[in-house]
A and B are shown apart, each in its own frame.
Chain A
Amino acid sequence: MAAARALINVPPKARRGEVIGIKSLISHEMETGFRPNATGQLIPRNIIKEFVCTYNGVEVFRAEFFPAVSANPFVSFTTRATESGTITMTWTGDNGFHASESVAITVE
């Protein structure tokens, strides 16, 4: 499994109740599983299947991916800042792919 590089963007500080924007991007090749190689055999599928974001352990966003997803998928969504703590994003996929990034947020 190639080393994945994930980028995440979460505001470090927010007011309680504020709607905050969260952005993520992970480097991943994304092979559909439908493409033949030079000898005519199908190249095995290699995609990220699931992306989950938790806020202090509580799931706030989930996305399922399918073979039409682009390489290096970029996900942007919003959530409500409720309390200080940790926001964690996890990507799982074919071939046992697993990557996770966490970032702290201070809510005042």
Chain B
Amino acid sequence: MTQQHVNRRDFLKRTAASAAAVTLAAPAIAQNTDGRVVVVGGGFAGASCARALKRIDPKISVTLVEASHTFTACPFSNAVIAGLRDLKQQQFDYKKLEGPINVTFEPATRVDTDARTVIIGDAARLPYDRLVLAPGIDIRWDGLPGYDEAAAARMPHAWRAGEQTLLLRKQLEAMDDGGLVVISAPANPFRCPPGPYERASLIAHYLKTRKPKSKLIILDAKDAFSKQGLFLAAWKELYPELIEWVPLSKGGRVTAVDPKSNTLTTEFGSHKAAVANVIPPQKAARIAEAAGVADKTGWCPIDPVTFESKLAPNIHVIGDACIAGGMPKSAFAGNSQAKGCAAALAKLLNGEKPDEPKLINTCYSLVSPDYGISVAGVYTPVNGQWTDVKGAGGVSPAKAPRSDRALEANFANGWFKTITEEAFG
């Protein structure tokens, strides 16, 4: 019953959309295209979506709007912080995309949903039949008392890779042996759920090898985290006495920071750090709010089959910015969603009904350079929400030989090469 109702509604919506397309998209038809898609954001989700669209239906005109000429990838940036990797290995450009895809290096500032136009830079207007927003995250600068953009220059978040990544690395390199490193981890949801704990692991690896008298404390606003059992067991094995995890129920939630004294305050105490890495609360990046597709949580509710916003028609939101139910905010999930969204868009623009999709996520974390662990999931829409397929997915086995951990570390490296090739060429 419900299913029929949805189908009918979708049918009506599509009929209306194609009628509108005929009147509005006349130039597109004249140029013999299947429609115009503008993708905002050239990260894992946006770049993958733009390329997937062209692969599936070369007749769709695709424009990618991205403010920066260089993309700096977050996955593996924890290895840069720990001195195991160069930032250059994280950086990609859009040269392989240009040609089939129109790439515009301007920030998208506004969306005129009625005129179906993206405003880029100061005034230039880009018309679309379908808009894909893959803007990633912004820091909530009002989310943690004391933590503003100036504070981030002293207490880096390093949660958007680039200068911040290098700043945290430099601070660790400059720290005396015996220093206290404090990581503040936010409450859910946030980009890369296992990220703070991989970071703690790789920083611990650096400290163990270079500054063994040092200590690392994770102040956490949660009582549970991704791959927790595996991380805790690995820390005990690799970094005994080095990492201390303070969960919410033990007073771990950071309530304020003071960049002048490099101090983090919790409900029950304060910690003066030699190096403080504050991972603050986050939200969908600004353009999502400007387009009216972010709800009061700061993230974007979507229809799981098409990724179309529940708040504005013809705008599809993918990657970290969207609310994808059981799917985490990860590069793999963003890439997976990008291809799902591209398939749905190609169908919609060809007047067809999108297929019922199924997506996968796999997230690798490195506990040390040769010790990898993973979490995987298979997802399908249930009651309008991306939901874990029962019996599938889960984390690496708790008891596994070190050779398996080494194999997973190797797979993690392989995954990075594959996914960046798929997104950026």
Q: Is the interface of A mostly helix, strand, loop or mixed?
A: strand
- Please indicate the chain A residues that have their CB under 8 angstroms from the CB of B250 in the complex: 5, 7, 27
Q: How distant is the Cα of A102 from the Cα of B163 in the complex, in angstroms?
A: 47
- Please indicate the chain A residues that have their CB under 8 angstroms from the CB of B355 in the complex: none
How many A residues, CB 8 Å from partner? 11
- Please indicate the chain A residues that have their CB under 8 angstroms from the CB of B269 in the complex: 9
How far does the Cβ of B417 sit from chain A's closest Cβ, in whole Å?
A: 43
Interface residues in chain A, defined as those with a beta carbon under 8 Å from any beta carbon in chain B: 5, 7-9, 23, 25, 27, 71-72, 74, 76
How far does the Cβ of B122 sit from chain A's closest Cβ, in whole Å?
A: 48
23 contacts between A and B (CB under 8 A): A5-B250, A7-B250, A7-B251, A7-B267, A7-B268, A8-B268, A9-B267, A9-B268, A9-B269, A23-B267, A23-B268, A25-B249, A25-B251, A25-B267, A25-B268, A27-B249, A27-B250, A71-B249, A72-B223, A72-B248, A72-B249, A74-B267, A76-B267
How far does the Cβ of B219 sit from chain A's closest Cβ, in whole Å?
A: 13
Of all chain B residues, the one with the shortest Cβ separation from A71 is B249
- Please indicate the chain B residues that have their CB under 8 angstroms from the CB of A71 in the complex: 249
- Please indicate the chain A residues that have their CB under 8 angstroms from the CB of B251 in the complex: 7, 25
Q: How distant is the Cα of A76 from the Cα of B249 in the complex, in angstroms?
A: 14
How far does the Cβ of A57 sit from chain B's closest Cβ, in whole Å?
A: 24
| Count: A-B pairs, CB below 8 Å | 23
Of all chain B residues, the one with the shortest Cβ separation from A73 is B249
Q: How distant is the Cα of A72 from the Cα of B223 in the complex, in angstroms?
A: 10
How far does the Cβ of B244 sit from chain A's closest Cβ, in whole Å?
A: 15
- Please indicate the chain A residues that have their CB under 8 angstroms from the CB of B267 in the complex: 7, 9, 23, 25, 74, 76
How far does the Cβ of A2 sit from chain B's closest Cβ, in whole Å?
A: 13
Q: How distant is the Cα of A45 from the Cα of B245 in the complex, in angstroms?
A: 30
- Please indicate the chain B residues that have their CB under 8 angstroms from the CB of A5 in the complex: 250
Q: How distant is the Cα of A7 from the Cα of B251 in the complex, in angstroms?
A: 7
Of all chain B residues, the one with the shortest Cβ separation from A25 is B251
The 6 closest A-B pairs by CB, nearest first: A72-B249, A7-B268, A7-B251, A9-B268, A23-B267, A27-B249
Q: How distant is the Cα of A8 from the Cα of B248 in the complex, in angstroms?
A: 14
- Per-position 1/0 for B233-258, Cβ under 8 A of A: 00000000000000011110000000
Q: Give the contacts of B254-302 with A (CB-CB under 8 A).
A: 267-269
Task: Beyond the given A7-B267, A9-B269, please list 4 additional residue pairs across the A-B interface where CB-CB is below 8 A.
Answer: A7-B250, A23-B268, A25-B249, A27-B249
